[in-house]
Amino acid sequence: MKKDIIRFRRLGWAGVELQYNNQTLLIDYILDTSPLKPLRGPDQPFPPSSQPRSAVGALLTHLHADHADPGAMAEAIRDGSPVYRPAKAVGVQADLELTLHAEKEFEKYKLATEIVGEWEERSVGPFRLFSAPAVDGFGDRQISWIVEFGNRRIIHAGDTMFHGYWWRIANKYGPFDIAFLPINGPIVEFPFLQPPSSLAAVMTPEQAAVAANLLNAKAVVPIHYQALHKPPMYTETPNPTMRLTEKLTGFNIQAIVIDPVLWVDLI
């Protein structure tokens, strides 16, 4: 009897590729890092999807340039495959700065985009999809994605801050085999967001570990760390993976710290 192939890999920063047998799904997939040049820190690879023009769909947690790359998605998914995304940002010009690049890029490509709200369900290929609340550090629209494939269920939390929805997400969709959680807890000082905040705009490692415990996750794959660090504009918290691992140990939750490109089988 043929064994099902259920696996994942990181695609740099927050990007994730899921595979069930020979079908793939992309989350927060980017290749064009030019909009991030002012913030790029240590080198981190941003590998392409494993099967160009073959992914059954793409999911976006939000429309910041480090999570949304319409050009990359156009080359990675099948013609006509869905791209599920949150609603557009609204407000004055300063409120639109972080989503403007991705929105302009969407106008260039003929992608089958669909706006999805919180607590909605979709299906694409062998993947069952659910959207859950998230809280963006800059007030932009953001959702977390739950994906069920084979006999596994994961959650991808974009670059959310810590919030009070974890219990509701766990009650509705948990437990989770893997939680892909952001951990870099950056202090941000953008010129268009003034005065600056002294509080982290994304979860810290310790907050991510607490979130994983509330979500009833068996393991955490840390995302959203290392590639961006340019003080004072964007200052990543020190030693994020080490601190996450230490905090998760107290909850008896496994930390899976992996470099982009490498596949991990979900047995």
pLDDT of residue 179: 98
Residues 134/122, Cβ–Cβ less than 8 Å: no
- Sorted by sequence, the CB contacts under 8 Å of residue 237 that are 6+ apart come out as 184, 185, 186, 187, 200, 204, 205, 243
> What pLDDT digit, counting tens, does each position of 81-114 carry?
999 999 999 999 999 999 999 999 999 998 999 9
DSSP letter string, 174-198: --BSEEEEE----EE--TTS-SPPS
**Type of residue found at 107:** E
pLDDT of residue 43: 72
> Has residue 73 been placed in a domain?
yes
CATH number, domain containing residue 222 = 3.60.15.10
What predicted TM-score, i.e. pTM, was given to this entire model?
A: 0.97
> Has residue 30 been placed in a domain?
yes
Rounded Cα distance between 55 and 63, Å, is 20
Please provide the distance, in angstroms rounded to a whole number, between the alpha carbons at the two ends of the chain: 16
> Has residue 252 been placed in a domain?
yes
The structural domain count of the chain equals 1
> Has residue 214 been placed in a domain?
yes
> Has residue 59 been placed in a domain?
yes
Q: Could you give the strand order of the β-sheet that contains 219-223, starting from the edge strand earlier in sequence?
A: 121-124, 127-133, 143-149, 152-156, 178-182, 219-223, 254-255
> Has residue 28 been placed in a domain?
yes
Residues of the chain with pLDDT under 50: 1
pLDDT of residue 42: 67
Range(s) of the domain holding residue 139: 6-262
pLDDT of residue 2: 58
- Helix ranges (DSSP H) in the chain: 70-76, 93-106, 166-173, 205-215, 240-251
> Has residue 176 been placed in a domain?
yes
pLDDT of residue 40: 86
> Has residue 267 been placed in a domain?
no
pLDDT of residue 4: 80
